[in-house]
Structure 1
Amino acid sequence: MSGTPGPWSSSVLPPALTLRSGFWISVDLMETSSTFLYFAYGSNLLKERLQLKNPSAAVHCVARLQDYRLVFGNHRGMASERWHGGVATIERSPGEEVWGVVWRMSLNDLDSLDMQENVTLGAYSPVELVVRSRGAKLSCRTYIMNSCVYAPPSPQYLKVMVMGALQNGLPAEYQAKLRLIKTNMYQGPLPVMDELTRRIQSPAHL
């Protein structure tokens, strides 16, 4: 699945570009800000989750992706070892919308973000999509799962999403919709949740 052609699409490439992790980044942008915009809609809605491996992430705004829907699944049906259930992805669906958080991140974190999304393993592909925030259009990097086999998320994964939606003030109706998503009822250990809990409760974080 490909995203909507944006300002860095092949038909309108600016004169100076560099390819980073399969994503065209303007050299001028690198020289002026060395950052990029990332639209998160899954577990990376929660700041503490995203910053585990991507410390530069800072909230830019809340935004809406039109004509897509949020779904859960696993790449080729292989359950996530980290989350023990389906994980979030998006797919085209005219008339629907996905809310998320736009993060501004350093280009130094681009490779680690790709690693988190298992890009090199083919689980997700990075795409450029246009989201809307208070009437403004923003071209953002996001990720779409390849060969998705639908599967419900674990309660822990959904909890992280719900916490992130609340933390960043996503629309109340959308938050309510997230809370109604059915899970697989997994109750076993999840090291990533332990790590998140320690981070949230640490004195430095408080």
Structure 2
Amino acid sequence: MENHLTFLYFAYGSNLLKERLQLKNPSAKVHCVARLKDYRLMFGNYEGLASDRWHGGVATIEHSLGDEVWGVVWRMSMSDLESLDGQENVTLGAYTPVELSVKTKEQELNCRTYIMNSCVYAPPSPQYLKVVMMGAEQNGLPKDYQEKLRTIKTNMYEGPLPMMAELERARRRAKERANHRSDA
């Protein structure tokens, strides 16, 4: 893991987007972009129960020789570990935290990440996929990987998602803070 005060977390789904992750994990800082070899990105629901938050499948990874998943390594305070586990529904058994080795241009890093248990495959909502793609773009994941994300079929859900409104507010606040700093 790192030292006793921080840990590294490899995000590959909605937590690619800084504003999403920082809603409940304010210590998260981008460490680098990395690649997880021999895994593939999948979407589904724990035991087939659709996500109330996202109204569709959510991201997970599964072992798959020759495939790769790109993501962001975040450095986070140990004080956010319980919150992150809660966001990933670890106590409900939806995801299991695992430690995996990811590759950067210069090195290999051991990171915490999460794998869904009892996954029943299901397409994501357009809104969830949009958040994943926004995070991929925000962090400069490889263009061909971003293109691959764009081709993922969604469930075409068009109803309201309170999470999207919350993210928009967070993005607006971040933009206002950035503008305020540049005016100073």
Q: Specify the TM-score bucket, using the shorter chain as the normaliser.
A: over 0.9
* TM-score between the two structures when normalised by the length of structure 1: 0.84
User: For residue 204 of structure 1, what is the aligned residue in structure 2?
Assistant: 177
- CA distance change for structure 1 residues 86 and 176 in 2, over 3 Å: closer, same or farther? same
Residue of structure 1 equivalent to 2:102: 131
CA gap of 1:115–1:205, structure 2 versus 1, over 3 A, is farther
Return the match for 2:93 from 114, 122, 125. 122
Partner Cα distance (2:86, 2:12) in 1: 17
Using the size of structure 2 for normalisation, the TM-score is 0.94
Do the aligned residues in 2 keep the contact of 1:199 with 1:205 (CA within 8 Å)? no
**1:169 alignment partner in structure 2:** 140
List runs of 5+ in structure 2 lacking aligned partners: 180-184
Shift of residue 201, structure 1, vs aligned partner: 1.3
Aligned partners of 1:59 and 1:199: how far apart in 2?
17
Task: Report 1:8-27 matches (<5 A).
Answer: none
Task: Write out per-residue CA displacement over residues 134-191 of structure 1, whole angstroms, 9 at most, x where no aligned residue.
Answer: 0410000000000000000000000000000000000000000001100000010101
Report the Cα offset of residue 204 of structure 1: 2.8
Counterpart residue number, 1:101: 72
Q: CA RMSD in A?
A: 1.0
Q: Does 1:148 align with 2:119?
A: yes
Residue 83 of structure 1 aligns to a residue in which SS? coil
Identity %: 73
In structure 2, what is the Cα distance between the partners aligned to 1:69 and 1:200?
A: 29
Quote the Cα distance in structure 2 between the aligned partners of 1:125 and 1:199: 28
**Aligned-residue offset at 1:199:** 1.0
Rate the CA distance shift 1:131–1:137 in 2: closer, same or farther, 3 A.
same
Q: Which one-letter code corresponds to 1:53 in the other structure?
A: K
- 2:129 equivalent to 1:158: yes
4+ residue runs over 2 A deviation: 202-206
User: Match of 2:182?
Assistant: none
In the alignment, is residue 84 of structure 1 matched against residue 55 of structure 2? yes
User: How many angstroms apart in 1 are the aligned matches of 2:117 and 2:102?
Assistant: 21
Offset from partner CA, 1:113-143 (integer Å, 9 cap, x none): 0000000000000000000000410000000
